[in-house]
Each structure stands twice: as C-alpha cells, then as structure tokens.
Amino acid sequence: MKYYDKLIFELSVPGRVGYSLPKNKFENYNVEDIDNNLKRESGLELPSVGELDVVRHYTNLSQMNFGVDTGFYPLGSCTMKYNPKINEEICSMPQFAAMHPLQPVECAQGALEIYYNLAKSLAAISGLSEFTLNPFAGAHGELTGLMIMRQYHILRGDFNRTKVIVPDSAHGTNPASAAVAGLEIIEVKSTPGGTISIEDLKPLLDNTIAGIMMTNPNTLGIFESEIPQIAELVHAAGGLLYYDGANLNPMLGKCRPGDMGFDIMHINLHKSFSTPHGGGGPGCGPVGVRAGLEDLLPAPHVRKNAQGQFFIENCDSSFGSVSQYFGNFGVMLRAYTYILSLGKENIKYVGPLSVLNANYVKESLKDCYELPIEGVCKHEFVFDGLKDKSTGVTTLDVAKRLLDYGYHAPTIYFPLLFHQAIMIEPTETESKETLDAFINVMKTVAREASENPDIVKSAPHNTPITRVDELKAAKQPVLKFGDF
C-alpha cells in the first residue's frame, strides 16, 4: 500500500472528457428550451477528466485499502469471510442488470424465482416460516423486524406494549432501531458470565413489554444456554423474541433460531452468506417470521401460484413497505449462489469450523491477553486488553500495531462491558496456517508492549498514513472539496 494524495477534482483540466454518447438524431428539440425559471443557475463543478485519469485515480485509491482479499480480517461481529468470485460472476450477468423493477411478472419469472427460492432457503436454515428479502442491510432488517413486533401487538389491540428489552452487550444498532420503530428500550445487564440472567429478566416482563432482542451467541461469543427458558418466559408474558442475525454464522448446521424459540429475525447476507461488505454496503437484511406472523411482512411480496408461476402481491399489508422495490437484488444473487455452491452437504460445516477457529485462536492467546470469561466460545470471543497492564499500551495501540504486520484490526472497545475490549472473529474460511501466523503476531505485539511500548503506542508505521487527527476533523469539519 502506498500513499497517494489526489482527489479527482484536482486532476480536472477544462476541456478534457471521459464520456462518449451517441449523436443527437432528434432535430428540433433541445433541453435549453426549458423555461428559464426552471433552469439551473449555479455552476456545476464536476471534474473534467479523461478515462485513463479516472482508471488510474481509482486504482491508486484502491491501493490504500485493505480487503478480505488482501489479508486476514479478524473483525469481531462482522464475519469477514471469503467472498467467492463465482458470486460476483453471477451477480454481473447482463440479463439481470437490464431488468426494470416494474416490468411485468411474466417477463421476470427467473428473477422472481431466485427471490422466492432464496427466501425459502433462508427459512429452512433458520427454522422460521417465511422471509422477506426487501430490507437493505442488517440494521434495516432489525428496524423492519421491530416494526413487525409492534404491529403484531397493535393488531391485537395491545397498545401498551411499547417497550423492548435489550441486553447491555447488544450491537449499537439494536437500541437505535428500537428507537426508530417507536419502542422504548429497557436494558438488561449481563451477568459476570456474560449472559442474561433469568432472575434479572423476570421482573421486567409485564404487560408493557413488546418483546426482547437478543443475538445468540451474544456479542461476547457466548451461547445463551437458557434460551429455551427465556423464550418460554417472554412468550408467557405475551412478548415476542427477536433474533439479531449478526451472529448467525456459528449456528449454521447446528442450531436454528426458530428452534430456539425466536419469532422474528434478520440475517445479514453480507456476513453469514458471503456477500462482500463493499466498504460499508450494499448489504441485504432479510427478515423472517415464524408461522402465524407471515401476514406482517412488508410489501411487495413474491409468491408462487398453484401452476408454479411467480407473482408479486403489492396490496399493502397492514404493515407497509420498507423499500421502494424489492431490496438489493444483486446481493441476493450472490447469497443464493453461495448457498447453492455449498449445498446442504457443506453448509452444515460453516458453524462448527468457525467455532473451531475462534476457540483455537482464543486458547492460543489467552496467556498474553486478558480473557475475562473462560470456557468454549462460539464464532468470536473478547479479550480485555493485554494481560500485562503495566505497560500503558492500550487496545487501540495493539489494533494499530496489527496493521503494521499486515492484518486488519479486530473490533475494539466493543462490547462496552470491558474497557479494553478486543473482539476477534476468525470465520471458517481461514486456514490453520493463517491463524498460526496471526497468533504469532499477536504474541509479538504483546512482547513489544512490554519491551518497547513506544513502537506500539505510535503505530502504525508501515501504512499509507499514520494515525489521524480526529479532533481536528470534528472541530473544523471539512466535508466536501469546496471546504478546503
């Protein structure tokens, strides 16, 4: 990776062009004929650059980026697994790219079949009844799921159920999604063992509770073993259980959220189902519900009739819609390719191998890093900083030093339960050799922290840039080219 300082605007030379458009064969027409009072007055300052300028510029930018294809990405709760290339090939097929979202269903049978069958596959994997693929991302799925939870109570005339229980170890999107859905958050504290205590939960379960949001395994990588009892209690109190599918990967092949007792869930296709993160999207956040709640899913619905033909039901359900069309179809193509590639024979190993990888790294490093909760983890685990606290080297420093060694940093300072949290998730696609090399580097960093703390504290040294001045960025915001 090398530093490259240009912005596309700085390459602009008036008169240079990068486009080619057909000759205008429509005589007697001109966009300039629009009334003057409707026309743009202010200048348009898009760059004037040639095609090669554009290609070189963005290639140079790409070389300051680190992706899964560059190296190991042990980012906790993000499931940065390998993104298979056949997925991309299928997603780029021109026949799909040309499809208008409002074209009649008889001309879109192939696309609708993909949507329908992917939804069915996800239902089989989750143990739930039906899925919508319309939500655009995990957080969007969460929001949709929580709206479904509220709508369930509203339709029953149970208007007082406006509170949702969220553990303090939850992903930050959980409470934020609840707030957008108009729900009040009741936080339940984790026990020292990192799980929800039934005794803490019981007094919260009154007739104002809409439900509970959980991720299982939770963000500490610990399986909430009391989930059957929790489900029973929440259901008995009239609430629903929402499963945050961000941590679904270790469950693949071993345990289905529906069987755990969850009523509603979302899945991050860009985590468990191998679609690329794209530097922060596009994702896809399908939402599934158990039998009896299917009517609460958002429109449009893709359905199949008795003759095996696919059709769209657009009639607004009582719920409404969360997307203009059908969600991120391109992402669905990738995830469906992944599921078909693995098939039922292989998908069942995804969970166990991801859990094996996580435990292997945890056991190999717990002498150097503080492991606050012992025992078998699932897909990820959390260290509370270095074991040797005397050096003054923080979790941030360790993370930055890892960049020097060619690794992406783990998730840091999350979950909020531990002050120096380092959250590691290796995923099943990494080999023992990759993990061994990472373990060695983690040990090296721990040794450096004791022997030469300054090199860790001032890391990274080998990256295109060094640490950035975030205070300056926030205090004197420069948010567009014209602000310089």
Partner 1 sequence: MANVIEGLFYSESHEWVKIENGIATIGISDFAQKELGDIVYVDMPSVGDSITKGSEFGAVESVKAASDLYSPVSGTVLQTNQDLADSPELLNQDPYTNWIIKLENVDNADLAGLMDADTYQNKFN
Partner 2 sequence: MYKYFPHTAANIQEMLAVVGSKTLDQLYSDVPQQIIYNKEYDLEEQMSEQEIRSFFNTLAEKNQKLCCFAGAGAYDHYTPSVISYITNRSEFQTAYTPYQPEISQGTLRYIFEFQSMICNLTGMDVANASMYDGATATAEAVMMMAASAKGGAKKVLVSATLNPLARRVVDTYAKFHGIELSTIKEADGVTSLQDMEEQLAQGGVAGVVLQQPNIYGIIEDYSGFADKIHGSKALLAMNVNPSSLAVIKTPAELGADIVCGDGQSLGIPLTFGGPYVGFMACRKDLVRKMPGRIVGATTDTQGRRAFVLTLQAREQHIRRNKATSNICSNQSLMALWVTIYLSIMGKEGLKEVNNLSYCGAHYLFDRIIATGKFSKLFDKPFLNEFAVDYKGDAAKLQKFMLDNGILAGVRLKDIKTDAGDSTLLFAVTEQRTKEEIDKFVKLINQAAL
Using DSSP's 3-state secondary structure scheme, residue 71 falls into coil
Contact between 412 and 48 under an 8 Å Cβ cutoff? The reply is: no
x/- map, 438-477, partner 1, by CB under 8 A: --------------------------------xx--xx--
Q: Check residue 348 for interaction with partner 2 (CB under 8 A).
A: yes
Q: Check residue 371 for interaction with partner 2 (CB under 8 A).
A: no
Please give the structure tokens belonging to residue 349: 């190993």
Which of partner 1, partner 2, none has residue 9 at its interface (CB below 5 to 8 Å by kind)?
partner 2
Q: Check residue 176 for interaction with partner 2 (CB under 8 A).
A: yes
- The per-residue b/e assignment along 40-68, b for 16 or more CB within 10 angstroms, e otherwise, is eeeeeeebebeeebeeebeeeeeeeebeb
- Cis amide bond preceding 276, omega within 30: no
Minimum CB separation of residue 135 from partner 2 in Å reads 8
Contact between 165 and 201 under an 8 Å Cβ cutoff? The reply is: yes
Q: How far apart are CA 350 and CA 168, in angstroms?
A: 28
* Residue showing tokens 């300054």: 454
Q: Give 410 or 426: the residue with its C-beta nearer to partner 1.
A: 410
Region from 103-111, 236-244, 386-394, 448-456 binding partner 2, contact rule CB under 8 A: 103-111
Q: How far apart are CA 378 and CA 365, in angstroms?
A: 16
Q: Check residue 32 for interaction with partner 1 (CB under 8 A).
A: no
Which of partner 1, partner 2, none has residue 364 at its interface (CB below 5 to 8 Å by kind)?
partner 2
Minimum CB separation of residue 288 from partner 1 in Å reads 34
Site for partner 2 in 189-228 (CB under 8 A): 222-223, 225, 227-228
Q: Check residue 249 for interaction with partner 2 (CB under 8 A).
A: no
Q: Which residues pair with 369 in a beta bridge?
A: 386
Which of partner 2, partner 1, none has residue 390 at its interface (CB below 5 to 8 Å by kind)?
none
* Residue showing tokens 């783990």: 410
Which of partner 1, partner 2, none has residue 401 at its interface (CB below 5 to 8 Å by kind)?
none
With CB under 8 A as the rule, give the number of residues binding partner 2. 198
Q: Give 203 or 279: the residue with its C-beta nearer to partner 2.
A: 279
Which of partner 1, partner 2, none has residue 450 at its interface (CB below 5 to 8 Å by kind)?
none
**What angle, rounded to 10 degrees, do the helices at 109-126 and 329-365 form?**
30
Please give the structure tokens belonging to residue 380: 């990820």
Site for partner 2 in 264-323 (CB under 8 A): 270, 274, 276-283, 298-299, 314, 316, 319-323
Distances (CA, A) of 440 to 304, 368, 385, 404: 53, 11, 17, 14
Cβ atoms within 10 Å, residue 364: 16
Which residues sit at the interface with partner 1, rule CB under 8 A? 470-471, 474-475
